[in-house]
Structure 1
Amino acid sequence: MVWLYPSRAGHAMSCPMPEANTPKIVTAAILVIGNEILSGRTRDANMHFLAGKLTELGIRLREARVVPDDEARIVAAVNELRAAYDYVFTSGGIGPTHDDITADCIAKAFGVGIDVQPEARRRLEAHYEAGMLNAARLRMARIPDGAGLIDNPVSAAPGFCIGNVFVMAGVPAIFQAMVGSVAPQLVGGDKLLSRTIVAQVPEGVIAEKLQALQNDYPEIEMGSYPAFRGGKASTSVVLRGTDVERLAPAAARMHEIFRELGGNPVENEIV
């Protein structure tokens, strides 16, 4: 399948997408790029947002990785992740300054050239007042050869997609807008359903029975999360799966386990 992304000028730019016979499980990774994230100066919000949006689309975010503004590290990470997952989303490093090297790194990872792309330049020219599109800002129009543009309704400077890699800005408002631009074109798998059951029973007490439940339902993802509520130990057990016919009896059995251990379980709705 080839996604044709219409530019504002009416031209279409192609970005290859997964085949139409999509597997039930579709996976993704996010690569967060920037020294400011690793130093603690900037708190990353994009991974959390992306995970929620992909879950809605039936795409499972399987890995989140953070790398510094280092060409070799970025190139290696991009090549490793794009070979392992259906989709890869990058965040950061496509601005106007010298340390914004993501576009060049993506071009190197794919073994293609990079230059100012005419449509990307046109978008910036339309956004800035006459004489304000300086050499630094024009860097944001440098796009790897063969890449399609990702619309940026916030500040005009586009992201881009090449292969199964989507390259986006690090500023959360812009990142979110770009995700909104590409989301309708992403091909998801079966939606992941989730049920959360909570009871005032310590995590260590349920461990053995929870392991037995997992053995009985190997296709259901199970996780336990301890907390203190009202001064008492409690545990939330989260069950995730794509088949409601299997998820329902597993959840019912978890209710029974909590009651057997003296708890009074309550549950969130399936989401």
Structure 2
Amino acid sequence: MSENETAAPKSIVTAAILVIGDEILSGRTKDKNIGYIAEYLTNIGIELREVRVVPDVTDEIVAALNALRARYTYVFTTGGIGPTHDDITADAVAAAFGVSIDHDPRAVAMLRERFSEADLNEARLRMARIPAGAELIANSISKAPGFNIGNVYVMAGVPSIMQAMMDVVAPTLKTGVKVLSDTVRAGLKEGDIGGALAEIAKAHPGVSIGSYPFWSETGPDTNIVVRSRDAQMLQAAMDEVKAMVERERQPKA
């Protein structure tokens, strides 16, 4: 790049997560994927905007997927791509995109790396059913692949497998401007600083300010988190937050 050239500014890249599974909604399985994906995306410059959880019902998966993929840059789904009868995610994704689905020779070959012909039964072959036109997402742990079609990335619900798939997917994604953040521990109750924080937030429209109460060893306390894509705007708002905290900590006359 020459001295007179400037890099094109990065845009904001957005994403949603669609968690699929009756076991999540019933509480039998505690989701461990949302937080991991959220942090992963934040770290590479993709802003997670929405999370939905739907049951193993084709119509509900299709409706949610079509809504999310039209609204965000990327959609990441977890769950429902295993070998049992209620693993219907691949079929639902095919229905959402209006394409056929069948055993993909590439996926079958991957499964053969792990299973013998005797063990590669009809149930396990379900994991090789891939919508037409999709690209496979390699699975270094159990070999059964995920897949990508359009702006949708379909991954396993098992956390270790999903994480391995994210490592495969991430280098292929378009990323945007990262959100910067800074935190100050106020040493004050959230209700004591709510009004002052609202005024600071009003004065800094390009900055997000959140307060998060918790119970510390000394009693009620609050973390104040300031976020922005602009480092100077972040610093200006944080300076005001810190000054406000110092004022509020002073003994009242």
Identify whether the pair has TM-score above 0.5, normalized to the shorter chain: yes
Which of 185, 193, 215 aligns to 2:180? It is 193
Distance across 2 between alignment mates of 1:213 and 1:84: 31
How far does the alpha carbon of each residue in 1:50-88 deviate from its partner, in whole angstroms, 9 at most, with x for none?
Answer: 011101110011111110001111000000000111000
Distance across 1 between alignment mates of 2:114 and 2:128: 12
Counterpart in 2 of 1:142? 129
- The alignment's C-alpha RMSD in Å is 1.4
Q: 1:166 to 1:45 in 2, by over 3 A?
A: same
Which of 164, 174, 177 aligns to 1:177? It is 164
**Residue identity opposite 2:169 in structure 1:** V
**Residue identity opposite 2:163 in structure 1:** Q
- Whether the 8 Å contact between 1:22 and 1:188 is mirrored in structure 2 is no
Distance across 1 between alignment mates of 2:105 and 2:136: 11
Count of residue pairs the alignment pairs up = 244
Which of 9, 33, 43 aligns to 1:56? It is 43
Q: 5 Å matches for 1:46-125?
A: 46-125=33-112
Q: 1:94 to 1:22 in 2, by over 3 A?
A: farther
Distance across 2 between alignment mates of 1:228 and 1:110: 48
SS of 1:127's partner is coil
Distance across 2 between alignment mates of 1:263 and 1:129: 72
- Please state if 1:42 is matched with 2:29: yes
- Whether the 8 Å contact between 1:200 and 1:263 is mirrored in structure 2 is no
SS of 2:85's partner is coil
SS of 2:43's partner is helix
Which of 124, 142, 148 aligns to 1:161? It is 148
- Whether the 8 Å contact between 1:31 and 1:90 is mirrored in structure 2 is yes
Distance across 1 between alignment mates of 2:9 and 2:197: 32
- Please state if 1:233 is matched with 2:233: no
SS of 1:261's partner is helix
CA drift at 1:22: 8.1
5+ residue gaps, structure 2, are 1-7
Runs of 4+ in structure 1 deviating by more than 3 angstroms, as ranges, are none
Q: 5 Å matches for 1:14-25?
A: 24-25=11-12
CA drift at 1:129: 2.1
Q: 5 Å matches for 1:204-223?
A: 204-223=191-210
How far does the alpha carbon of each residue in 1:171-211 deviate from its partner, in whole angstroms, 9 at most, with x for none?
Answer: 00100000011011111101111101112111111111111
CA drift at 1:32: 0.5
**Residue identity opposite 2:26 in structure 1:** S
- Higher deviation after alignment, 123-132 or 214-223: 123-132
Counterpart in 1 of 2:3? none
5+ residue gaps, structure 1, are 1-20, 265-271
Per the normalisation by structure 1, the TM-score is 0.87
- Higher deviation after alignment, 109-118 or 204-213: 204-213
